[in-house]
Amino acid sequence: MNIRFDGQTVIVTGAAHGFGRAIALAFARLGGNVWACDVNRSGLALTEQQALEQGTALKVRMVDVTDREMVRTFVQEAGTGERLDVLVNNAGGVLGQVGRPLEEISEEDWHTIFRVNVDGAFYFSQAAAPLMKARHFGRIVNISSGAGLGVSLTGIQAYASAKAAQIGLTRQLAHELGPWGITVNNVAPGFVRSNPTTERQWESYGEAGQRRLVENIALKRLGTSDDIAAAVLFFASEYAGWITGQVLGVDGGK
C-alpha cells in the first residue's frame, strides 16, 4: 500500500505538539502541501523546524480555532487556488483542567472545552466545505478520544461530552457531505503520552496505576503519536474512498 499526497493541500489543526505535530510531519513526508496551525507559537516553530530537519517544509500560522472569522480567513489562505483536499481537526484537549466533582464545574469550565473540541471542528469543516464541494472531493478527519466512546480517564465531564459530540458531528457531516465525494471520519485515540498534559496525567497515576493502565491494553504497551498519524493517513488516502462516518479506535485493544 503506497500512500502519497503529492499536490494535495492539507490543513492540520493543533499542530504545535503531540498528535498534530506527528500528523503534519507525516503528511509533509508524503508530499502534502501542509498548513499547520495552533495558538502555541513556540510549539509551531518547533514543528516547522522538525519539518525542515526531515527534508520537507510546511506553512505554519497562529490560529485560534474558536474564532470563526480567523478560521475562515486561514482556510481561504490555505485554499488559494480553490483547492483543499484534507482537513484534520486535531485541536482539542482538556485545556489545563483536571477532574473535579460535578458541582464544582463552572459554566466557563464547561464551555471552554466545548469551544475548542467541538466548535473548532465545526468552524473548520464549515469553512472547508465549499472548497471541497467545488472539486467534488475532500477528506475530513476528526480526532476525538476513547473518552468519547466510554468514560474519560481524566474524569473531566466536559471533555468526555465534547468528544462524544464531535463523534456525532462526524457522522452527521458524513451524510451531509457524502453527495459531493467528501468523506468524514474520526480517529479515537487511547491514552498516549504525547504532550505535557498527558505526561502530567501519566505521572499522577503512580507506578501501580501506570502498570494497571498498560495491563488493560490488549497489546500491553502504550501507543505513540505516530500510531495516531498512521490512522489519519489511511482515512485521508485513496484507499479509504468508500469509508465515511466511521470511528476508528486506535488504542492498542480494549
Give the burial string for 191-209 (b: 16+ CB within 10 Å, else e). Answer: bbebbebbeebbeeeeeee
Q: How far is CA 87 from CA 36, 155, 193, 232, in A?
A: 10, 29, 24, 10
Distance CA 34, CA 146 (A): 27
Dihedral Cα 61, 67, 71, 73, nearest 10 deg: -90
In the annotation, is 123 catalytic? no
- From the list 58, 63, 59, the residue with the least C-alpha distance to 89 is 63
Would you tell me how many other CB atoms lie within 10 Å of the CB of residue 4? Answer: 12
The one catalytic residue among 123, 159, 205, 239: 159
Distance CA 116, CA 104 (A): 21
Enumerate the active-site residues.
159
